[in-house]
Chains A and B, each alone.
Chain A
Amino acid sequence: MENLKESELVIRAKEGDPTAFENLVERNYMLVYTISYKWCGTKEDAEDVTQEVFMKLSKNILYFKEESTFQTWLYRIAINTAKDLAKMNERKRKKESAYIEERKTSIQQQKESSLAERVHQMIENLPQKLKETAFLVFSEGMNHKEAAAILNCAEKTVSWRVFQAKRALKRNLERGESL
Chain B
Amino acid sequence: MKDEEINKILQGVEIPEPDEIKKKATIKAVMTEFHQQKLSLQKNFKGIEEERRLRGKTKTFFTFLGEFAMKKSFIITGGATALVALLVVYFSVFMGPSLMMRVSTEQEPVSQSAGGRAEIRERDEAEKNEGVPRHDTFVDDSILEELIVKKLPVNPTEQRELGSVTAKADKETEGFTDADSLKNPSIIATKPMRSMAKTMAKRRPESAGRGASYSLQAPADDYRSNEYKDVGRDKFETIVTNPLKLVSEEPVSTFSVDVDTASYAFVRRQLNNGVLPQKNAVRVEEMINYFDYDYSVPADKSRPFQPTTALYQTPWNPDTRLLHIGIKGYDIVPEEKPVSNLVFLIDVSGSMNSHDKLPLLKNSFRLLVNTLDEDDTVSIVVYAGAAGTVLEPTKGNERGKILAALDQLQAGGSTAGGEGVRKAYELAEANFTKDGLNRVILATDGDFNVGIRDPEELKSFVERKRETGIFLSVLGFGQGNYHDALMQKLAQNGNGNAAYIDNLNEARKVLVDEASSTLFTIAKDVKIQIEFNPKLVAEYRLIGYESRMLKREDFNNDKVDAGDIGSGHSVTAIYEITPSTSKGKLVDDLRYSDKEEQAATTGSMEGEYAYLKIRYKLPDSEKSELLQTPINRENEYSRIDQVPADIRFAASVAAFGQLLRGGTFTAQFTYGDVIKLAESATGKDPYGYRHEFINLVRLAGSIR
**B56 contacts partner chain A, Cβ-Cβ < 8 Å:** yes
B64 interfacial by beta-carbon distance below 8 Å: no
Interface 0/1 of B1-34, CB less than 8 Å to A: 1010011011111011011001101110111011
Does A107 sit within 8 A of B, measured CB to CB? no
A119 close to B6 (CB less than 8 A): yes
Within 8 A of A (CB), among B69-96: none
* CB neighbours of B23 from chain A (8 A): 29
Given the complex, which residues of A lie within 8 Å of B54, measured CB to CB?
Answer: 14-16, 62
In the complex, chain A residues whose CB is within 8 Å of the CB of B33: 55, 58-59
Q: Which of A49-108 contact B (CB under 8 A)?
A: 50-51, 54-55, 57-59, 61-63, 65-66
B11 contacts A51, CB within 8 Å?
no
- Whether B41 is near chain A, meaning CB under 8 Å from some CB there, is yes
Asked whether, in the complex, the Cβ of A21 is within 8 Å of the Cβ of B34, the reply is yes
Nearest Cβ on chain A to B675's Cβ, whole angstroms: 37
Contact status B56-A169, CB under 8 Å: no
Q: Are B18 and A62 within 8 A (Cβ)?
A: no
Select one of A21, A30, A61 contacting B18, CB under 8 A. Answer: A30
A144 to chain B, nearest CB (A): 13
Residues of B contacting A18 with CB < 8 Å? 31, 34-35, 226, 231
User: Does A126 touch B at the CB level, under 8 Å?
Assistant: no
Given A15-B55, A170-B1, answer yes or no on A37-B29 (Cβ-Cβ < 8 Å).
Answer: no
A160 to chain B, nearest CB (A): 15
Cross-interface CB contact of B30 among A15, A37, A46, A58, cutoff 8 Å: A58
Which residues of B sit under 8 angstroms from A147, Cβ to Cβ?
none
Chain B residues with CB under 8 Å of A61's CB are 34, 37
Judging by beta carbons under 8 Å apart, are A43 and B18 in contact? yes
The reply to whether A50 and B26 contact each other, CB–CB distance below 8 Å, is yes
Contact A22 B222 (CB under 8 A): no
Q: Are B22 and A47 in contact, with the CB atoms below 8 A?
A: yes
A149 within 8 A of B: no
Which A residues between 1 and 49 are near B, CB-CB below 8 angstroms? Answer: 10-11, 14-18, 21-22, 25-26, 29-30, 33-34, 37-38, 43, 46-47
**CB-based contact A11/B56 at 8 Å:** yes
How far is A121 from B114 in the complex, measured between Cα atoms in Å? 93
State whether B9 touches A51 (Cβ < 8 A).
Answer: no
Q: Are B15 and A55 in contact (CB-based, < 8 A)?
A: no
Complex contacts, B27 vs chain A, CB 8 Å: 22, 25-26, 29, 54
CB distance from B275 to the nearest CB of A (A): 17
| Chain B residues whose C-beta falls within 8 Å of the C-beta of A30 in the assembled complex | 18
B38 at the A interface (CB under 8 A): yes
Interface: B53 (CB within 8 A): yes
Q: Does residue B62 face the partner (Cβ distance < 8 Å to A)?
A: no
* B37 and A15 within 8 A (CB): no
The complex places the Cα of A115 from the Cα of B18 at a distance, in Å, of: 26
- How far is the CB of B217 from the nearest CB of chain A, in Å? 14
User: CA A170 – CA B1 in complex, angstroms?
Assistant: 6
Say whether A138 contacts B26, CB under 8 Å.
no
Q: What residues on B are CB-neighbors of A151 within 8 Å? A: none
Residue of B nearest to A123 (CB): B10
With a cutoff of 8 Å between Cβ atoms, the chain B residues found around residue A17 in the complex are: 226
> Which residue from A15, A26, A43 sits with its C-beta under 8 Å from B222?
A15
CA distance A33 to B27 in the complex (A): 13
Q: Does B176 contact A (CB under 8 A)?
A: no
Residues B10 and A55 in contact, CB atoms below 8 Å apart: no
A139 to B3, CA, bound (A): 11
Chain B interface, >50% SS class: helix
Could you say which residues of chain A place their CB within 8 Å of the CB of B29? 51, 55
Say how far A49's CB is from chain B's closest CB, in angstroms.
Answer: 11
A16: min CB distance to chain B, Å: 5
Please report the C-alpha to C-alpha distance between residue A28 and residue B699 in the assembled complex, in whole angstroms.
Answer: 44
Report yes or no: A62 in contact with B41, Cβ–Cβ below 8 A.
Answer: yes
| A58 and B37 contact, CB distance less than 8 A | yes
**Bound-state Cα–Cα, A116 to B14, Å:** 11
**CB-CB < 8 A to A59: which residues of B?**
33, 37
- Chain B neighbourhood of A161, CB < 8 A: none
Given contacts A46-B18, A141-B7, contact A14 B55 (CB under 8 A): yes
Cα distance, A47 to B30, chains bound together (Å): 13
B223 close to chain A: CB less than 8 A: yes
**Is A166 in the interface zone, CB < 8 Å from B?**
yes
Q: Judging by beta carbons under 8 Å apart, are A34 and B15 in contact?
A: yes
> Which residues of chain A (123-179) have a CB below 8 Å from chain B?
123, 138-139, 141, 166, 169-170, 173
Cα-based distance from A66 to B12 in the complex (angstroms): 32
Q: How far is the CA of A144 from the CA of B91 in the complex (A)?
A: 59
**With A47-B18, A120-B10 as given contacts, are A62 and B37 in contact (CB-CB < 8 Å)?**
yes
CB < 8 Å neighbour of B31 from A22, A37, A47: A22
Asked if residues A14 and B56 are in contact (CB atoms below 8 Å), the reply is yes
Q: Is the CB of B9 within 8 A of A115?
A: yes
* Chain A residues with CB under 8 A of B18: 29-30, 33, 43, 46-47, 50
Binding site for A on B (CB under 8 A): 1, 3, 6-7, 9-13, 15-16, 18-19, 22-23, 25-27, 29-31, 33-35, 37-38, 41, 53-56, 222-223, 226, 231, 350
A sample of 20 inter-chain contacts (CB < 8 A) reads A15-B54, A15-B222, A16-B223, A18-B35, A21-B31, A22-B31, A25-B27, A25-B31, A34-B15, A46-B18, A47-B19, A54-B30, A55-B33, A57-B30, A58-B33, A59-B33, A120-B13, A123-B10, A139-B11, A166-B3
Q: Considering the complex of A and B, which 10 residue pairs feature the smallest CB-CB distances, nearest first? A: A58-B34, A139-B10, A11-B56, A58-B33, A51-B26, A54-B30, A138-B10, A116-B9, A119-B9, A58-B30
For the A-B complex with A16-B223, A57-B30, A138-B7 known, give 16 more contacts whose Cβ atoms are closer than 8 Å.
A11-B55, A16-B54, A25-B27, A25-B30, A29-B18, A29-B26, A33-B15, A38-B10, A46-B18, A47-B19, A55-B29, A58-B30, A58-B31, A116-B12, A119-B9, A139-B10
